Amino acid sequence: MTAVVWANAALAIPFLIAFIGIPLWMTFRRPQTGPDHSQARAYLRAKAALAGAGAAAPGRITGETRHADRVAA
């Protein structure tokens, strides 16, 4: 093997180590965790509770009225 091949191998090894090592380091440094959906679930439960309470008296909770309510009035 010529000196050019050995120089190529000597330069390629650090680049391969960096190409593999940096993403691995980033992965282990900040592991991916699952998202926390607790606030979204609480919001949806509150929204469903308001919708259920609003079914008995439409438009009373938010101050909005449906078109049919305005026509009938």
Reported as a single tens digit per residue, the pLDDT across 26-64 is 888 887 777 788 899 999 999 999 888 765 555 555 555
Q: What are phi and psi of 58, to 5 degrees?
A: -65, 135
Please tell me the predicted confidence (pLDDT) of residue 62: 53
pTM for this entry: 0.39
pLDDT class of 68 with cuts at 50, 70, 90: low
Check residue 37 and give its pLDDT: 84
Reduce the secondary structure of 26-47 to three states and give it as a string. Answer: HHHHCCCCCCCCHHHHHHHHHH
Q: Closest Cα to residue 61, out of 72, 70, 69, 52?
A: 52
Residue 44, pLDDT score: 92
